Amino acid sequence: MNKEYDVLIVGTGAAGLYGALQFPEDIRVLLISKRELTLSNSSLAQGGVACVLDKINDDFALHIADTLTAGKNKNNADAVEVLVKEGPGDVLRIRDLGVDFDLDENGELQKTLEAGHSRHRIVHHKDSTGKAIVDALLIQVRKRPNIDICENTLLYKLDKADDGFLAGLILPSGESQVIAARYCIMASGGIGRVYQYTTNSAIATGDGITLAFMLGARIKHLSWIQFHPTAFAAENDRERFLISEAVRGEGAILLNCNGERFAEKYDPRGHLAPRDVVSNAIMQESKATNSEKFYLDITYKDPDFVRNRFPMIYENCLKENIDITKDRIPVFPCQHYLMGGIDVDLHARTTVDRLYAAGECSHTGVHGANRLASNSLLEALVFSRRAAEDIIQRRKTDSARPFPPFEEKEDLSGKPLPHGYRTEIRKIIQNVHFVIPNHDAAPASLERITEILSEIISGGYAVNRDFVEARSLATVAAIILREVVKNKTETE
């Protein structure tokens, strides 16, 4: 690791990796990941990437319309247009970089249908598209001499310095290392771990959003959360794996605790309605039946077809002693995706000079109030490329005064953070802001979260991953609850 870089990229998911690949060899990039390089939401993505490649049966206007309808027209229409029109180019570029998308009988990219899309336009690699993307992009990134990659290296602090930033990193040894960078791209992913149950990977604690917030960046719509209706309902696991929409798309039926279909009672589209509608139907039915037991049933389909179409889901369920060709799959809604985040413009610029954000930590406005399936990998690709292009351009004219002298190491020692804060934060958010928000509980919950945050910040605790993540979860929870309280006040 050098002392100075042109660009620091925080995150090795789709946004971080693809962003890094845009820089020419004379731009020095430091790419960091707080855990292993492949531990991310990107690696978990199953369904695929939405984009218009078939200009005969599909067109941009339809993809735009589907995105706006899913987003309840609360999207940023300019950002949606950029996403939809530029997305196909990025998808073809990652195919050329080695992503092994499934092909149809004519050797063209196979396109499938997902809920909310009016056309077959999701390109995929079986049911593990995200892993295929991350693996291929990592191979490319490793070949680039201008990119230093550091795993198990956590950003705990980001300060403005003359014409750039000073970034505090916790190395795998636990020691600190401070480096300087002219530009920073946050590609640090979502916030799922602020919930008790989520489909998100363990890295999704909102660190990038918190550090950007601490720098004064505008954060928008952190309470716009997508709950996936059909996550596997394991008894204890916090991270719940997804039973993708495609399983319902292929005919699986959603049943209540009595083995009855019910989704049609709440919406004529039944269990194929958008995610928020189906999640809502499940919560209402849960109240009506006084039970949290729900199931997907695909047992009536040909077992070979089911195993071939959903190899990863089949294997994951088998590990939980559920053979989906014979048994009903227990499911329940859980946190899945963050539509809001660090507010950015069409070039992924945040409101802090030289700070960019891309992927799930950012708020481009493309998703509006509800993300259309398979639009998020697309967003990560399009806007991380745009961030890099903007940096490449402005670097030609931006001033680059020498960084002031700085200490390369900081003392991170202190008392260990007591157990319990993270559990309490998760319980509060799960109780107040899950599918149907509990507005009445929000003000008192916000007070408690504010207390927790100040105890964490001022307690003299050792700065390590546990501390940084707890601080992030408390910060994110406070921002969510402030939005919930504000919405309650506005509607009263």
Residues marked as catalytic: 275
Chain residues 97-136 in contact with ligand FAD, contact rule CB under 6 A: 129-130
Tell me which of 71, 87, 359, 365 binds ligand FAD, using CB under 6 A. 359
Decide if residue 22 touches ligand FAD (CB under 6 A).
no
Both structure tokens of 334 = 């859980």
Please report how close the Cβ of residue 164 comes to ligand FAD at its closest, in angstroms: 18
Both structure tokens of 362 = 């950012």
CA angle 189, 191, 197 (to 5 degrees): 125
3-class DSSP state of 425: helix
Identity (one letter) of the amino acid at 448? Answer: R
Of 350, 353, 344, give the one whose Cα is nearest residue 379. 344
Tell me which of 187, 243, 449, 473 binds ligand FAD, using CB under 6 A. 187
Q: Could you tell me which stretch among 11-19, 290-298, 410-418, 473-481 binds ligand FAD (CB under 6 A)?
A: 11-19
Q: Could you tell me which stretch among 41-49, 82-90, 411-419, 452-460 binds ligand FAD (CB under 6 A)?
A: 41-49
Run of H or E residues at 6: strand 4-10
Query: Do 359 and 15 touch, CB atoms closer than 8 A?
Result: yes
Tell me which of 21, 48, 209, 370 binds ligand FAD, using CB under 6 A. 48
Of 256, 228, 257, 253, give the one whose Cα is nearest residue 243. 228
Decide if residue 365 touches ligand FAD (CB under 6 A).
no
Going from the C-alpha of 43 to that of each of 180, 260, 427, 477, the distances in angstroms are 29, 35, 27, 25
Number of CB atoms found within 10 A of residue 407's CB: 9
d(CA 436, CA 293): 18
Of 417, 415, 421, 418, give the one whose Cα is nearest residue 478. 421
Put residue 149 in one of left, alpha, beta given phi > 0 → left and psi -120 to 50 → alpha: beta
Q: Which is nearer to ligand FAD, 183 or 262 (CB)?
A: 183
Tell me which of 115, 242, 263, 317 binds ligand FAD, using CB under 6 A. 242
Decide if residue 341 touches ligand FAD (CB under 6 A).
no
Q: Which is nearer to ligand FAD, 18 or 403 (CB)?
A: 18
Please report how close the Cβ of residue 83 comes to ligand FAD at its closest, in angstroms: 11
Number of residues that bind ligand FAD (CB under 6 A): 41
Decide if residue 16 touches ligand FAD (CB under 6 A).
yes
Query: Do 163 and 399 touch, CB atoms closer than 8 A?
Result: yes
Q: Edge to edge, what strands does the sheet with 122-123 contain?
A: 49-50, 122-123, 111-112
- Could you list the beta-strand ranges (E) of 353-425: 355-357, 362-363
Tell me which of 22, 33, 76, 128 binds ligand FAD, using CB under 6 A. 33
Tell me which of 67, 112, 188, 286 binds ligand FAD, using CB under 6 A. 188
Tell me which of 7, 8, 21, 46 binds ligand FAD, using CB under 6 A. 46
Please report how close the Cβ of residue 47 comes to ligand FAD at its closest, in angstroms: 3
| Cβ neighbours of residue 78 closer than 8 Å, sequence gap 6 or more | 346
Q: Which is nearer to ligand FAD, 19 or 164 (CB)?
A: 19
Number of CB atoms found within 10 A of residue 375's CB: 29
Q: Which is nearer to ligand FAD, 278 or 446 (CB)?
A: 278
Q: Could you tell me which stretch among 7-15, 313-321, 327-335, 431-439 binds ligand FAD (CB under 6 A)?
A: 7-15
d(CA 323, CA 310): 12
Decide if residue 380 touches ligand FAD (CB under 6 A).
yes
Q: Which is nearer to ligand FAD, 110 or 284 (CB)?
A: 110
Q: Could you tell me which stretch among 255-263, 326-334, 376-384, 456-464 binds ligand FAD (CB under 6 A)?
A: 376-384
Please report how close the Cβ of residue 396 comes to ligand FAD at its closest, in angstroms: 27
Binding residues for ligand FAD (CB under 6 A): 10-16, 32-35, 40-42, 44-49, 129-130, 154-155, 187-189, 199-200, 203, 207-208, 242, 337, 359-360, 374-377, 380
